[in-house]
Amino acid sequence: MLSLIYTQNDWLSKYFVFIIILIFIPVAIYTKGYITEYKKHYCVNYMLFLIILFVASMIGVVASTNAISFLIFWEIMSITSFFLVIYEYMHKENLKAGIFYFVMTHISGLFLMIMFAFLYKYTGSFDFSEILKFSVGFSANQKYIIFILALFGFGAKMGIVPLHAWLPKAHPTAPSNVSALMSGVMLKVALYGFIRVVFIFLRVTPLNCGVIVLIIGTITAIFSILNALLQNNIKKLLAYSSAENIGLIFAALGISMILVNYNLKMLASLALTAALLHCLNHAIFKSLLFLNAGSVLYATSTKNMNELGGLHQKMKFTAICTFIGTCAISAVPPFNGFASEILILRSFIEAITMVSNIWVIVLIFSCGIIIALTSGAAFYATVKSFGITFLGKPRSKKAEHVKTIPLSMNIGQGILAMLTIVTGVFSPFIISEISFYTNNLLGISGKSPSFKNETEIIVFTLILICITVIIFMFNKINSLNKKQEINDTWACGYKSDKPYIQYTGSGFVQPAAKIFGAVANYNKKVNYKRTIYISQTTSDLVEDYLYKSSLKVVNFITTKILKINYGKIQLHILYIFISLIIALVLVLKFV
Amino acid sequence: MKYNLFYFIQSILIIVLSPLFIGILKKMKATLRGYRGSSVIQPYYDLCKLLKKGKVISNRSSFITAIGPIVILSATITTVFFIPVFYTSMEKTIGNLFILMFAFGIVKMFTVLIGLDSSSTFGGMGSSREAFISMMAEPLILFLMIFLYIETNDFNVFHISFINSKVVHYDTAHLITMVTFVIAILSENARIPFDNPETHLELTMMHEAMILDLSGSDLAYVELSSYIKLIVYLIILINCFVPIGIATTFTISALIIGFLTFIFKLLFCLLGIALIETTFAKSRLFRGAELFPAMISMGIVAITLIYIL
């Protein structure tokens, strides 16, 4: 147990500990104001205790140097996050979503246990540094087995596509500060595990592994962003968008794995840097957006954007923070999302010119096209989420009577918004910092980044600020002595503009729903009940088909098994005896 | 990193002259349709008139409308400094194609949000359509970058046009990519067949619908920015795909030849747009969107042509 105390003295661990603490500080400040809402019905200290345990366990996962402590902390992380998801236990649906999350997270834990057991079998040690020593000797088959187990184990926690269904359920039910931590940090912890196993333990994986990761990443990105586009629940939209960003990171990792295989180390280092940078950026802007959603929920007590609108008048600071987050997520320079987006696209493009195999080129090219479409859709989805929620006129009573937001919540959001700008403008320095590590990991000598690192963004920002100031001054001088009227918006010929003449969230994405609706199982039905109204529904295709059919199979098997279960104690002892013998035989034969 | 003074001068020239080019485009369209049309310097008069007026803003509008038009104009002007016009060299300088294309993201972001800001139906409609069309056009922009990188191994626009200006024979893939980029230009700048910039009819509105609630100087900024944006896109088209004649040495004769060929090529492009806009009708939103998958498949053809032939 002493090994629990030793911590990893490794750049990758430090980087992720840095991300965890960086996000935790503003979220903690935000929590102070946010929990006042819960004081009436729930126990507040319980939540604070769980959050601290949650963050500590995540740091434990990232810092641990052996498999046992890694798994213990991993389980603590899973269980505390489960209790945080069902914190609002008085709503029955929340419990259902929580149980769903619990099952998924344990599937993940199971795969990881098996994976570390195999690593133990191949190397004879649980210690990471020992595993590292033996890792050169892995055969291709052993690499495949570990890779597949890592993919499922960490993938279920990250939310890659067939295993993503818990994300849009758990995030909306969890309190917003918790979903900020879960989406911003916990997904990154799973990514850390994946990077450690695949890039450090396995080093060079067979080409197929890289191809699988690239394809899964791309599918995750496009599938979840199209789903996000059609959601009207802010937090559900953000949850799907988290899955999209994980898909992007995954695709970049896939490119890197493919390139390592072709021994194009410089480019592989570029793609890995892109993935690691996007981890940091996504952690910052996604937790910012979740905190903003939390503020909206706190002030108006609704998450449905079709009931909101016009919040910019009473929640000015939150509106500005959300605007910054929206710019970052839709890759608008000079905010941070843009820096990593450029690197990811660059690694795609440069990979096309360097790889020699025509099929891999075609694959990377088509994935790149889909990733580009994804970034367009991400712009669409986040503009919807900001524009419909904060701009225009209030669409319901809830959006008119807004509670004031405590100072501490504003400080939390403000810090993250500042970080978004700082990490965006100074991204070249962060990139060169990360690339030292990636160069080192992939065995490239030299201290400078092996790829061209554009410092242009700083120049761009300066020019932009300069010109903006000039035009602003010009505007000030020009508008002296000019009349400025403030009037109602033109109401298309009616007397006054009613809030319902505005576009709603569902109306805003109608063009996309018409073309891509099938991806999100989009259905539109016209109902006649005294008045005519349209009901629009979406559901998760993977959940509908894959999960429900597998549940049916399990149900079928259990009904069959029930027949041999008579409830006699002697029979049960016999079963136990038989299974013991089978287990013993298996152990003797295969271990 | 060096920024040649001459780059600066040519960029300023483009900012000053872009309303003139738009005037020429309008004149061309008028001539093709058989009427006299307004003078070529009419856009300058329009901008001056708008700048002189006071403005009316909606009581619902937020900080987006307050700072949007200014940021839109300054972002577009910034992009002008990142492109070569009629002189280029291999010096290490700014001009990254990614930053250029993402900078237009700022413009897109603010125009779309301005549409939603004033709580009018038209604004929402315009924003929704604009976001949809630009989402579909995104792969074409990426495709442009992929192709130019394959050709020149560089992301800098100045270098790309320098390298491509030495090429004498263009291959088929080059022309195909050019066609896809032309479609991207038409969609990003709200031209026919995606949007009709001349009308304020409900059915044809995208760009005009979003800025319907702007007036006075705000409208002038957004209009000027849309002029400059079109010219910048055309310059990217000209200088990345057919940069023949662009001045690559700093001599007077080369500069004069570069300037004249540039003006000729730009007028040719404007004539092309005028021809498209006078002969085609604006297509339905979804009919227009169907062009993008077609263009993406053309892009795939271009890539295969490069690698297999």
Q: Using CB atoms and an 8 Å cut-off, which of residues 323-352 of chain A contact chain B? A: 323, 326-327, 330-333, 338, 341-342, 345-346, 348-350, 352
Mean pLDDT, residues A268-286 taken together: 93
Give the model's pLDDT for residue A204: 85
Coil, helix or strand for A291? helix
pLDDT digits (tens, 9 = 90+) for A190-245: 999 999 999 988 888 889 999 999 999 999 999 999 999 999 999 999 999 999 99
- Tens of pLDDT along A408-464? 999 999 999 999 999 999 999 999 889 888 888 888 876 666 677 778 888 899 999
Provide mean pLDDT across the span A76-104: 91
Whether residue A259 is found in the same domain as residue A180: no
DSSP 3-state of A535: strand
**A178 vs B115: CA distance, rounded Å:** 34
Q: How far apart are CA A591 and CA B15, in angstroms?
A: 75
Closest-CA residue to B85 (of B6, B166, B188): B6
Show me where the domains of chain B are located.
Answer: 5-308
Q: How far is CA A276 from CA A150, A280, A437, B59, in A?
A: 18, 7, 10, 44
Query: Which DSSP state fits A35?
Result: G
- pLDDT single digits (tens) A521-562: 898 888 888 888 888 888 888 888 888 899 899 999 988 888
Instruction: Give the domain-ending residue among A151, A171, A203.
Output: A203
Statement to judge: residues A171 and A303 lie in one domain: no
Residues A93 and A166 in one domain: yes
Q: Is residue A104 part of a domain?
A: yes
The answer to whether the CB atoms of A383 and B113 lie below 8 A apart is yes
Which pLDDT band holds residue B1 (cuts at 50, 70, 90)?
low
Q: How confident is the model at residue B201 (pLDDT cuts 50, 70, 90)?
A: low
In chain B, the residue whose alpha carbon lies closest to the alpha carbon of A389 is B116
* A558/A553 Cα distance (integer angstroms): 9
Mean pLDDT of chain B: 90
The residue among A318, A326, A332 with the most chain B CBs within 10 A of its CB, best to mutate, is: A332
What confidence score (pLDDT) does residue A1 get? 41
Torsional sign, CA A213, A214, A219, A220: positive
- Of the three residues A203, A238, A271, the one that is the final residue of a domain is A203
Q: What is the ipTM of this complex?
A: 0.94
Alpha carbon of residue B136 to chain centroid: 17
Residue A6 has pLDDT above 60, yes or no: no
B256-274 per-position pLDDT tens digit: 999 999 999 999 999 999 9
Residues of A in contact with B70 (CB under 8 A): 468, 471-472, 475
pLDDT tens sequence across A23-58: 999 999 999 999 988 888 888 899 999 999 999 999
Is residue A364 a part of any domain in this protein?
Answer: yes
pLDDT at A5 over 50: no
Domain range for A354 is 208-473+504-514
Query: Do A397 and A252 belong to one domain?
Result: yes
SS3 for chain B is CCCCHHHHHHHHHHHHHHHHHHHHHHHHHHHHHCCCCCCCCHHHHHHHHHHHCCEEEECCCCHHHHHHHHHHHHHHHHHHCCCCCCECCCCCCCCEHHHHHHHHHHHHHHHHHHHHHCCCHHHHHHHHHHHHHHHHHHHHHHHHHHHHHHHHCCCEHHHHHHHHHCCCCCCHHHHHHHHHHHHHHHHHCCCCCCCCCCCCCHHHCCHHHHCCCCCHHHHHHHHHHHHHHHHHHHHHHHHHHCCCCCECCCCHHHHHHHHHHHHHHHHHHHHHHHHHHHHCCCCCHHHHHHHHHHHHHHHHHHHHHHHHC
Query: Torsion angle of alpha carbons B197, B199, B200, B204, nearest 10°?
Result: -70
Residues A394 and A308 reside in one and the same domain: yes
Distance CA A583, CA A502 (A): 66
Average pLDDT of span A313-327: 93
In a domain, A312, yes or no: yes
Q: Is pLDDT above 50 for A2?
A: no
A473 touches chain B (CB under 8 A): no
Same-domain pairing of A85 and A224:
no
For residues A157 and A136, state if they share a domain: yes
Residues A452, A352 share a domain: yes
Task: Give the mutation candidate from A489, A497, A500, A515 for the B interface (greatest B CB count, under 10 A).
Answer: A489
| Contact flag A393-B119 (C-beta cutoff 8 Å) | yes
- Give the separation between CA A259 and CA A450, rounded to whole angstroms: 14
Q: Which residues pair with A233 in a beta bridge?
A: A304
DSSP collapsed to 3 states, A409-420: HHHHHHHHHHHH
- The values of phi and psi at residue A537, to 5°, are -130, 150
Interface residue A516 vs chain B (CB under 8 A): no
How confident is the prediction for chain A on average, in pLDDT? 89
Residue A272 has a pLDDT of 93
pLDDT value, residue B203: 62
**Closest-CA residue of chain B to A380:** B131
- Are both A312 and A459 inside the same structural domain? yes
What was the pLDDT predicted at A452?
A: 74
Q: Is the distance from CB of B103 to CB of B94 less than 8 angstroms?
A: no
- Find the mean pLDDT for residues A280-292: 95
Is the pLDDT at A3 greater than 60, yes or no?
A: no
Q: Which of the residues B62, B80, B91, B304 would you substitute to probe the A interface, choosing the one with the greatest number of A C-beta atoms within 10 Å?
A: B62
Tell how strand A531-537 and strand B55-58 pair up: unpaired
> Which residue in chain B has the smallest CA separation from A386?
B113
Same domain, A126 and A239: no
Out of A313, A391, A456, the one facing B96 most closely (by C-beta) is A456
Q: How many domains does chain A have?
A: 3
Is-contact A453 A428, C-beta < 8 A? Answer: yes
Residues A195 and A282 in one domain: no
Residues A231 and A368 in one domain: yes
pLDDT score for A237:
94
Q: Assess if residue A374 is contained within a domain.
A: yes
Out of B119, B131, B217, name the one closest to residue A497 (CB): B119
Residue at A82 is within a domain: yes
Determine, yes or no, domain membership for A490: no
Contacts of residue B53 in chain A, CB cutoff 8 Å?
Answer: 482
B250: tokens are 């700093």
Contact A224, A241 (CB under 8 A): yes
Q: pLDDT, tens digit, for every residue of A337-375?
A: 988 999 999 999 999 988 888 889 889 999 999 999 999
Last residue of a domain, one of A186, A203, A220: A203
Terminal alpha carbon distance of chain B: 38
